[in-house]
Amino acid sequence: MKYVIIGNGAAAIGAIEGIRSKDSEGEIVLISKENCISYSKPQLYKILNQNDIKTISYRNEEFYNKNNVSTLFGQVLKSIDFKNKLVLLQDDKINYDKLLIATGAKANIPIIKGFEGEIYSFTNLDEALKLKESLVTKDKIVILGGGLIGVKLSEYLQKIGKDVSLIVNSKGVLSSLGDEKISEILNNEIIEKGVKLFLSTKVIGAKKEGKKIEVKMDTSTVTCDAIVSCKGVKPEVSPFEKTELSINIGIKVDDHMRTNIKDVFAAGDVTEVYNKFEDKFCNIPILPNAFNGGYCAGINMAGGEYKLDTWYPMNSLKIFDVQMITMGLLKQSENDEVLSIYEKNKKVYRKLVIRNGKLIGAALLGDIDRAGILNNIIRSNIDVTSIKEDLLNSKINFYSIPRNLREVIVKSYTEGLNDSKL
């Protein structure tokens, strides 16, 4: 059996481990446009003041040798001939028996009226190194976008002494999480730490004069040395757009990570998976889902029978002095029950979203205790009516949960993926 994997992120790594859990002999060929080992994109900001990719590596060089993987780094994918099972590269073609598409996502780069200079992005190593090189001569940086990448990059640049302006279209950062209190807390934290934050603001134009750039907003103007776009990402589906592969925003996959084409699987940021909480297919570009999807695909490519049917967003990060973990759906509907606690002085916020007695979302800021229990309860789909107050107040531990509920949680966890692999 010959397995071909296109991509080298978390989904690809998960697929290798999934394949090898079922098939220790089959040939694995990994093709990547990047000329380096796999690295952790959530930690990409660290490369701005470090020189070695090993500090953010997701798996080391030995991983590929240990798993007997042939690597083709720095290769450009032209197209795929699904009928004849061929991957067509710039200067070569590779046949496959089973194929995994894990091409990830690429940056959304806006067009700014009147601006003909360079807009930096920050979604892969090459982009990060390019920005790093430019920062030697640039002190004032404008960042567009208040998502995870934009907020974390703003923090890091401020910490290394840059003058940072963060421009956000919405009323608060991380607004896509669907919780105004989280945005409010983080807005205040970011401003308190010295980042200039422009909320509910649109960039309407920019003009470069010498080495300086004047960014025009609908409310004011700001002068900077560089613009970095962190306006989100979109699935990298361009090589497959004129093929029979089923694509909406991303490649649509089922709960086995199968596409609509026989022997072709997809995983990671390039895909759309079914989110039962929102009752629709969604693109959820986060590392744990990418790895888990790849692992699931790898098992099934090797002849196993494995499915993932619980998909939802999960985030764990620290913004300046605020540690936070969010999971599931935080933007409640009219009939959902919401429980919350907010201690302003301690910068502590806890929120639970409950639908029909089931926990579907949780947010923990400042006090992140019991996050693992909450995540397993969401995944287990158990009724929390009798324990919801204890969950909110962080007074619960695994053994204080009623025995019948513990058994459901354990069963769900053992049937799921072991998160320690991440």
> Got the DSSP string for 285-316?
--HHHHHHHHHHHHHHHTT----------EEE
pLDDT, one tens digit per residue, over 292-322 is 999 999 999 999 999 887 778 888 889 999 9
- One domain for residues 65 and 141: no
- One domain for residues 222 and 119: yes
pTM: 0.88
Of 215, 231, 247, which residue sits at a domain end?
Answer: 231
- One domain for residues 73 and 9: yes
- One domain for residues 238 and 102: yes
Domain assignment of residue 306, yes or no? no
Q: What is the CATH number of the domain that holds 361?
A: 3.30.390.30
Euclidean distance between CA atoms 259 and 261, whole angstroms: 5
Q: In which domain, by residue range, is 280 found?
A: 2-43+57-106+234-301
Domain assignment of residue 166, yes or no? yes
Give the pLDDT score at 408. 55
Give the pLDDT score at 377. 87
pLDDT at residue 366 is higher than 80: yes
Give the pLDDT score at 101. 98
| Residue 93 one-letter amino acid | K
pLDDT at residue 410 is higher than 80: no
Of 171, 199, 231, which residue sits at a domain end?
Answer: 231
Q: What is the CATH number of the domain that holds 161?
A: 3.50.50.60
- One domain for residues 95 and 175: no
Domain assignment of residue 308, yes or no? no
- One domain for residues 262 and 161: no
Give the pLDDT score at 103. 97
When pLDDT is cut at 50, 70 and 90, the band that residue 395 belongs to is low
Q: Which of 89, 82, 56, 69 is nearest to 20 (CA)?
A: 69
pLDDT, one tens digit per residue, over 163-211 is 999 999 999 999 988 899 999 999 999 999 999 999 999 999 999 988 8
Overall average pLDDT of the 388-417 stretch? 63
- One domain for residues 128 and 227: yes
pLDDT at residue 37 is higher than 80: yes
Q: Looking only at Cα atoms, what is the longest distance across the chain?
A: 69
What is the rounded average pLDDT for all residues in the chain? 90
pLDDT at residue 126 is higher than 60: yes
Lowest mean pLDDT among 9-18, 168-177, 269-278, 401-410: 401-410
Pairing mode, if any, of strands 69-73 and 27-32?
A: parallel
Give the pLDDT score at 420. 34
